[in-house]
Amino acid sequence: MAGSIFDHLQEEVQDIIGRYPVKRSALLPLLNLAQREEGYVSEEAMKAIAALLDLTPPQVYETVTFYTMFNLKPIGKFHVQVCKSLMCALVGSDDVIEWIREKLGIRVGQTTDDGLFTLSVVECLGSCATGPMMQINDDYYERLTKETVCRILDELKQQGDCPLKSGPFMVPEPTS
């Protein structure tokens, strides 16, 4: 589609569509791609995807709204998502939420004035042995303490990255 957000991604788009015998299957991957590009899923993106996959815009919309990871509106540069499910709650995730609220001065669901951070609470992210934890954009940060939370937020703000993010997961860690 001319003038769509996928213009410069033709190859990737075609590669994605090519993975499936039925076009519609490419819907979630393309939505993920759109969100990667724009930070959220815009109406224009939904329409462009509909056209690519022979769907109607409502068909794309109904799918988008079923999944919690898609943002329908622009959000902060860093999406801070704290797990609040029971396993993390047992080891202090409520505190983590409090710390972040304090540190950033926002409530859950809000974005900082500088547009950098949006805070959400989410359900289990598959890190129950390494809680409390949060996900910021693609990365997991685990076994959070007040210090690490502050450091992570500071470094993200200053450097856009933080080495405290988790690498390949293994718990307990092997003795070396």
Q: Which residues contact 132 (CB under 8 A, 6 or more apart)?
A: 82, 83, 88, 91, 92, 93, 95, 96, 143, 144
CB atoms within 10 A of CB 154: 12
Q: At what angle do helices 43-53 and 27-38 cross, to 10 degrees?
A: 150
Report how far apart the first and last C-alpha atoms of the chain are (Å, whole number): 53
Minimum CB–partner distance for residue 113 and other proteins (Å): 26
**Shortest Å, Cβ 36 to other proteins:** 10
* Minimum CB distance to other proteins smaller for 14 or for 169: 169
Cβ pair 134, 146 in contact under 8 A: no
Tell me: does residue 86 bind other proteins (CB under 8 A): yes
Query: How far is the CA of 165 from the CAs of 143, 156, 168, in angstroms?
Result: 11, 11, 10
Cis peptide before 168 (omega within 30 of 0): no
How many residues line the site for other proteins (CB under 8 A)? Answer: 68
Binding marks (x or -) toward other proteins, 128..157, rule CB under 8 A? xxxx---x--xxx--x-x------------
SS3 of residue 141 by DSSP: strand
59 in contact with other proteins (CB under 8 A): yes
Shortest approach of other proteins to residue 61 CB, angstroms?
5
In the list 11, 54, 107, 158, the residue contacting other proteins (rule: CB under 8 A) is 54
Is 24 among the residues that bind other proteins (CB under 8 A)? yes
Q: Report the nearest approach of other proteins to the CB of residue 67 (Å).
A: 4
Under the binding rule (CB under 8 A), the answer on residue 159 touching other proteins is no
Q: Which residues bind other proteins (CB under 8 A)?
A: 19-29, 31-32, 43, 46, 50-51, 53-59, 61-63, 65-70, 72, 84-87, 89-91, 122-131, 135, 138-140, 143, 145, 166-176
